[in-house]
Chains A and B, each alone.
Chain A
């Protein structure tokens, strides 16, 4: 598997990460070599094998659907780069 510059640019966009144009070519090379190395997995026959998402075999616990936390607006907003009237503030999204 070999990735070209445009594919890297597209993945970077999907990940919402600005990558400088002169970095795309070297990144394409590095990512391709990592993916080529990962290709070795294809030689294994995994038909009928269950994919493993977690090592714990416990059933996920459920709790009561009740409020357990809250009334901490100031603490929630304390680290925000920008906030206004008790909300997180972001650049304008609707004209």
Chain B
């Protein structure tokens, strides 16, 4: 029974179908693992009672022959950015103190109606703003991986961010899979740091309704899983058109698992030359070269492509995202929900509440965004960034005229130590250099574990696809996963 939390969605589906174990037994194993693994701080709120109730409902359905598909009875972590009815939702922020939504986000509702069992709400950077899960009001998350050598040997490492709790939970055996959200890399970068699969779907594939908003033109929910096949299964349960989100795409949800044919022969894979950056870590370059060789061996045609505006993507993102955030976060005013810090006047109450309720990184971004949108600077910053965004998006359109998918590294390094890179905000932003351009263009991108650093830490490669072509992304990702053949059990006791 103790091996139950080493299963993935696909293997658990088979075991549940054969009656080898019940959803309640499976859930119990995770509840115990979560209690034993609290030191990781992967969860803000544990929901064992909700989980067991839903697991028993799943077992009852199955006993009657009414099992609902692959996600029925699968225990997952829910990033604490998804509003969940009757369960505290914090967005990792002090300003949402005590907020218990009276409604359920569309994505979490979809997963619930597919039978998924919610184990709890996973930790994240405050309002999903961060790349190391160190900005959460509820404290940092520890990566279950430890370096086996080098200067960080034995130290606590960051899990990446912002979906750091989700990534750590899946890698550390505290959830079979998890939801994440990705605005500039928040699914893919932590997936790379924790040695799991993270898929940011095409913008519009999953509804944003009921997801605490960060940057509305970029935010997208997606699955974080142990395998590529699991990502296909889980995305199928999360996705779908939702009239309550006007940017949700009115498209049918394909059977993503069935699109994974295992055959990538003849596909053309683009290698963007601008991603070979000065000072790139040779280990990352070597991993990328290895990925190219694997796809070539699998029958892909490799083609160099140019995405000439790549170097402007981060600066563009750090205008667009904070501008949208400053507008979205205006709703936290101490009136309708969450924290209120009293003041002498209404204005005073607003200022006290927002001054105390937002952490440093969120305040920085609100200030940058407010400045970029303020009179006299709007054209120079915001409109300029939106124009460059068009150029970045056009780069991808041109590239995808001649390739079927693009292969890049996911992140410029392996997981770093807690406390590193905290002094300089721009140094932290560089973590997302390979993931932000995809987000600006709204394209699907997936990080797949592909190798290890010399210090024994997992490293991911990113597959980028055409709009709404997650099928090809998953197919190419599965080919990489197969070729890499990694043993990805997190190495937690490396001190010996």
Contacts and interface: CB of A to CB of B under 8 A. Distances in A.
A15 B384 contact: no
A37 B368 CA distance: 12
Nearest to A81: B340
Given A41-B385, A44-B309, 4 more contacts: A17-B366, A41-B316, A61-B243, A88-B335
A-B pairs, 4 with minimum CB distance: A18-B355, A55-B442, A51-B386, A79-B337
Given A33-B426, A54-B247, A91-B348, A15 B367 contact: yes
B390 A50 contact: yes
Nearest to B318: A38
B386 A15 contact: no
A79 B100 contact: yes
Contact of A49 (B318, B355, B390, B441): B390
A14 B390 contact: no
Most interface-central of B249, B309, B374 (chain A CB within 10 A): B374
Contacts of B426: 33-34, 37
A50 B249 contact: no
Interface of A: 3, 8, 11-20, 27, 30-31, 33-35, 37-38, 40-42, 44, 46, 49-56, 58, 60-61, 63, 72, 75-76, 78-82, 88, 90-93
B336 A88 contact: yes
Contact of B363 (A19, A52, A78, A93): A19
Contact of B384 (A16, A41, A79, A90): A41
A92 B100 CA distance: 27
Given A56-B203, A56-B249, A81-B334, A63 B374 contact: no
Interface in B343-396: 343-352, 354-356, 358, 363-364, 366-368, 370-371, 374, 380-381, 383-391, 393
Consensus secondary structure, chain B interface: helix
Contacts of A51: 383, 386-387, 389-390
Contacts of A92: 345
Interface string B245-282: 01101100000000000000000000000000000000
A14 to B, nearest CB: 5
A88 B363 CA distance: 26
A81 B338 contact: yes
Contacts of A40: 311-312, 315
Contact of B367 (A27, A37, A44, A63): A27
B391 A17 contact: no
Contacts of A75: 102
Given A34-B426, A40-B312, A52-B386, A79 B336 contact: yes
A15 B374 CA distance: 10
Contacts of B343: 91
A80 B336 CA distance: 4
Contact of A52 (B342, B350, B393): B393
